[in-house]
Amino acid sequence: MRAAGRAAALDAVDPLASCRDLFVPAGAGDDAVRAYLDGNSLGRPLIATAERLADLVTGAWGTGLIRSWDDGWMDLPLRLGDRLGEVCLGADPGQTVIGDSTTVMIYKLLHAAVSAARAGDPERTEIVLDAENFPTDRYVAEGVAAELGCSLVWIDPDPSTGVTADEVRTVIGSRTAVVLLSQVAYKSAWVADLPVITRIAHEAGALVLWDLCHSVGVLPIELDHHDVDLAVGCSYKFLNGGPGAPAFGYVARRHQQALTQPIRGWMGHADPFVMGPGHRPATGMRRFISGTPPILGMVGIADTVELINQVGLAAVRAKAVALGEFVIETVDAELPEVTVGSPREASRRGGHVTINHPRAREMCARLWQRDVIPDFREPDGIRLGLSPLSTSFTEVALVLDEIGTLLAN
């Protein structure tokens, strides 16, 4: 296990090493997880979150009861949205809201954006997207296109990298309503050129909706600075919100009043407790809320956002890069039969590294049996999720060593 020595040396100088102790231990003794490289699917819980959830149950919920809606819960989706915007998204207050699943939030914002683009110009009937995007994005876009009578314009990117600005330039035009892309590709970890692609969309008169699921909390993002129109993301990966924790949606202030989202529930009404006939959308981001906010699911998000604020997103990114470099160097040196399916250039790579081998599926299953947890992605990818706050270099070395052992047998 040659990489183990280098890993220990890297852990010894890792400025974020102590953050690992802030997480709930992943089991104990024989049942302990030996290495967890799946924080890009489900982040680990912070100890603070376990405590705050318990406090919430006995306190604001158990004792405050219904009064807690007036004592802060009602505004929490907007307050936490603002804080997330400030710390992780480069978004000024009043443009980010927490709620719904990512799938539902994509539907709401895509539907609203396409409808607004078409209202401005009825010829804008195309949604540009890529065949390598996460299934939910593609499926939702298919649904929105069918519902609104639009067509889909597909980009077919290289699966080992991702959508390029040139590919967007080739398909975009005066008929484009919205461009829907992920900033970090869920398979390859390719970082799309958000500033340039956003500019290309605007030059064509289109709006752009970015899916930030794999970038939020691990990559510095500057939504306001780059004039992004809309964005969505999930909170259960690098934000450690927990299973099924709510998504977030960002709508640039300049678009908010012109956008009407399709799930017009009472909580997005200008005055929900009037309970009168007909929906009158609230002003600002509140109009993008549909139903009762998921209060429990916001606890973990808030705790991780504060931790990121404390250590700085730049330090988080620096460690993600270092972990990625370590994976690639170790694979190159010690696993010659394995290929790297993610960009080698750090600036184009997000918070995971995918490695490919024909036995990936079988190896992943065997690794899980040995309490070593990466994840498998069709057809032959092992995704190594690198969560800078909770992943050590030693864990990475252990996973790669186990893979080497499986390949040798």
Ligand X SMILES: Cc1ncc(COP(=O)(O)O)c(C=O)c1O
Q: Tell me how far, at minimum, the Cβ of 235 lies from ligand X, in Å.
A: 9
Is 74 or 213 the residue whose CB approaches ligand X more closely? 213
CB of 38 to ligand X, least distance (A): 11
211 versus 229: smaller Cβ distance to ligand X = 211
Residue 112 or 213: the one with the smaller Cβ distance to ligand X is 213
Q: How far is the CB of 191 from ligand X (least distance, A)?
A: 13
Minimum CB–partner distance for residue 330 and ligand X (Å): 25
| Spatial CB neighbours of 163, under 8 Å, sequence gap ≥ 6 | 130, 132, 155, 157, 181, 185, 190, 192, 197
- Annotated active-site residue 237? The verdict is yes
Q: Which is nearer to ligand X, 210 or 393 (CB)?
A: 210
79 is catalytic: no
- Catalytic pick from 130, 187, 383, 393? 383
Q: Which of 211, 229, 375, 401 is catalytic?
A: 211
Q: Which sign does the torsion angle of CA 181, 300, 250, 238 carry?
A: negative
In terms of CB distance, is 14 or 211 closer to ligand X?
211
Residues that bind ligand X (CB under 6 A): 101-103, 134, 136-137, 182, 186, 211, 213-214, 234
From the candidates 236, 238, 288, 326, which is the catalytic residue? 236
Is 236 assigned a catalytic role? yes
Query: Which of the residues 23, 36, 134, 326 is marked catalytic?
Result: 134
User: Least separation, in Å, of the C-beta of 1 and ligand X?
Assistant: 31
- Which candidate in 83, 124, 187, 237 is catalytic? 237
Q: Catalytic site residues?
A: 134, 211, 236-237, 383
